[in-house]
Amino acid sequence: MANQKMLGFVHTAQAMPDKRSAGERRQDFNEIYARFSTERADEQASRCSQCGVPFCQVHCPVSNNIPDWLKLTAEGRLEEAYEVSQATNNFPEICGRICPQDRLCEGNCVIEQSTHGAVTIGSVEKYINDTAWEQGWVKPRTPARENGQSVGIIGAGPAGLAAAEELRAKGYAVHVYDRHDRMGGLLVYGIPGFKLEKDVVGRRVKLLADAGVVFHPNFEVGRDASLADLRQKHVAILIATGVYKARDIKAPGCGLKNIVPALDYLTTSNKVGLGDSVAAYDDGSLNAKGKKVVVLGGGDTAMDCVRTAIRQGATSVKCLYRRDRKNMPGSQREVAHAEEEGVEFVWQVAPEGFTGDDVVTGVRAVRIHLGVADATGRQTPQVIEDSEFTEPADLVIKALGFEPEDLPGAFGSPDLTVTRWGTLLVDHRTKMSSLDGVFGAGDIVRGASLVVWAIRDGRDAADSMHAYAQSVKAESLALAAE
């Protein structure tokens, strides 16, 4: 009998004793998630207390009207629930699947705070919107009339796509440029298919194309056109290029074969899942099958790598992180899933080098003691003397985080101002960059963040781009009238 609390549908502080094996728990989880049904959605939705201050909504980055759509779901009025849900979120069924709800809406639900376990908001959001797709309620947002102006969007991740939908609905000719062959950004090539099915992303991209958004795949700004070229073509530009420069580790042996960056590994796995043939997967260099895998890092990307390696048939998967469980940046829910699937976490260790002649055979590491807290309140990691050990490995995946690429250099725009971290500097009220009519949204502005924040930024930027384009139009009409 599946235990809801252990399965993440009702999140409580104390899990009930569970005698199932990790494999059995996983199977139960998959079965129950696949069967999240009308009855379960009703039952979960009716647990909402409709409290005076909806903390769930306050902590949802797109300010979803959660109590309203929960109430409508509990009353069986699913089409209305869908209308309310899609009014604030361009990709609600995607957020329902991959938002870290334990840190956002559900984590702040008052029922959760009173230790009765949060309403499973994300699952209900997914259910409402998957039903809307099945029932044919989701329609392309074609504008009532064309407004005669054109905008350019660089980057087809969630920030760029959300802005594209909003601007197209306002009547702009919308052109989206992306260096990849498929649209979706990290939704398609970063986040693994077991968390976010790729057809769920694909049907959204098709919906935008059906609304008249023009996609330019395999188009790299900086290579196929400069930013200045695009500014000539469009009244306003949105830069939504994400952050892709992987943080690296410089240590003895770091050049050995089979030490790979996380995004190369995940992109390959996603391409293979989409039916592409990838040489590095076929020759085994980006394939965990039959290997002892060690993943370095403790964020959500590391969790995606360990869980992908398990699915590819690794003989063992270990995750090395220099702090302890409670201080890791990854979602605790993801860690629990990884453990259930058989991943072993080795806490408080730091890599110092790699062994092997040509191909890696192990990670040399030291154990860490967490010392006194620094100015940021985090305990400082200190190496424990004589604690060196070697963790055997046939494949090492580096998941140490991402930084922005050199945007002004790549775009041929030295006058495009960036912060000292390399993120795009924008006016946070208007989202406009240092260049007139050039806006920014998503990770390239915030640094590595979340899909739901990228959607929020894309929506806000679209509003500002609209206001800007209208002011340009008014100005040119005034000049023509003079």
Ligand X SMILES: Cc1cc2nc3c(=O)[nH]c(=O)nc-3n(C[C@H](O)[C@H](O)[C@H](O)COP(=O)(O)OP(=O)(O)OC[C@H]3O[C@@H](n4cnc5c(N)ncnc54)[C@H](O)[C@@H]3O)c2cc1C
Residues forming contacts to ligand SF4 in the complex (CB under 6 A) are 60, 62, 64, 66, 89, 95-96, 99, 101, 104-105, 121-122, 125, 452
In whole angstroms, the minimum distance from the beta carbon of 64 to ligand SF4 comes to: 4
When asked if residue 99 is in the footprint of ligand X (CB under 6 A), the reply is: yes
Q: Within a 10 A sphere around the Cβ of 195, how many other Cβ atoms?
A: 15
Q: Within a 10 A sphere around the Cβ of 60, how many other Cβ atoms?
A: 25
When asked if residue 191 is in the footprint of ligand X (CB under 6 A), the reply is: yes
CA distance 302 to 323: 14
Touching ligand X, residues 246-275 (CB under 6 A): 266
Give the three-class secondary structure for 359.
strand
State the number of binding residues for ligand X (CB under 6 A): 36
User: 106 or 304: whose CB is closer to ligand SF4?
Assistant: 106
Instruction: Indicate the DSSP class of residue 421.
Output: T
Q: Please write down the long-range contacts of 227-234, taking CB distance under 8 Å and 24 or more positions apart.
A: 227/154, 227/411, 227/412, 227/413, 227/416, 227/435, 227/438, 228/412, 228/413, 230/152, 230/154, 230/177, 231/435, 231/437, 231/438, 233/150, 233/152, 233/175, 234/150, 234/151, 234/152, 234/175
In whole angstroms, the minimum distance from the beta carbon of 70 to ligand X comes to: 21
In terms of Cβ atoms closer than 10 Å to its own Cβ (0-12, 13-18, 19+), residue 373 is: exposed
Residue from 128, 236, 240, 350 touching ligand X (CB under 6 A): that is 240
Torsion over CA: 248, 249, 253, 258 (sign): negative
In whole angstroms, the minimum distance from the beta carbon of 100 to ligand X comes to: 6
In whole angstroms, the minimum distance from the beta carbon of 78 to ligand X comes to: 25
In whole angstroms, the minimum distance from the beta carbon of 73 to ligand SF4 comes to: 13
Partner whose binding site includes residue 300, from ligand SF4, ligand X, none (CB under 5 to 8 Å by kind): ligand X
Instruction: Indicate the DSSP class of residue 107.
Output: G
When asked if residue 158 is in the footprint of ligand X (CB under 6 A), the reply is: yes
User: 96 or 158: whose CB is closer to ligand SF4?
Assistant: 96
- The secondary element (H helix, E strand) that includes residue 106 is none
In whole angstroms, the minimum distance from the beta carbon of 443 to ligand SF4 comes to: 17
When asked if residue 172 is in the footprint of ligand X (CB under 6 A), the reply is: no
Partner whose binding site includes residue 350, from ligand SF4, ligand X, none (CB under 5 to 8 Å by kind): none
User: 41 or 60: whose CB is closer to ligand SF4?
Assistant: 60
Partner whose binding site includes residue 299, from ligand SF4, ligand X, none (CB under 5 to 8 Å by kind): none
Partner whose binding site includes residue 89, from ligand SF4, ligand X, none (CB under 5 to 8 Å by kind): ligand SF4
Partner whose binding site includes residue 186, from ligand X, ligand SF4, none (CB under 5 to 8 Å by kind): ligand X
Give the three-class secondary structure for 427.
coil
- Do residues 106 and 120 touch, judged by C-beta distance below 8 A? yes
When asked if residue 332 is in the footprint of ligand X (CB under 6 A), the reply is: no
Question: What are the φ and ψ backbone dihedral angles of 72, each rounded to 5 degrees?
Answer: -65, -40
When asked if residue 160 is in the footprint of ligand X (CB under 6 A), the reply is: yes
User: 204 or 216: whose CB is closer to ligand SF4?
Assistant: 204
User: 348 or 433: whose CB is closer to ligand X?
Assistant: 433
- Do residues 316 and 344 touch, judged by C-beta distance below 8 A? yes
When asked if residue 106 is in the footprint of ligand X (CB under 6 A), the reply is: no
In terms of Cβ atoms closer than 10 Å to its own Cβ (0-12, 13-18, 19+), residue 208 is: buried
Partner whose binding site includes residue 60, from ligand X, ligand SF4, none (CB under 5 to 8 Å by kind): ligand SF4
**Residue found by looking up tokens 């690794």 in the block:** 314
In whole angstroms, the minimum distance from the beta carbon of 441 to ligand X comes to: 7
User: How far from the centroid of its chain's Cα atoms is residue 195's Cα?
Assistant: 10
CA distance 73 to 66: 10
CA distance 34 to 396: 33
When asked if residue 220 is in the footprint of ligand X (CB under 6 A), the reply is: yes
In whole angstroms, the minimum distance from the beta carbon of 408 to ligand X comes to: 12
CA distance 236 to 215: 17
Give the three-class secondary structure for 439.
strand
When asked if residue 442 is in the footprint of ligand X (CB under 6 A), the reply is: yes
In whole angstroms, the minimum distance from the beta carbon of 96 to ligand SF4 comes to: 6
Partner whose binding site includes residue 179, from ligand SF4, ligand X, none (CB under 5 to 8 Å by kind): ligand X
Sites of contact with ligand X (CB under 6 A): 98-99, 154-160, 177-180, 185-186, 190-191, 195, 220-222, 240-242, 266, 300-301, 304, 410, 442-443, 449-452, 454
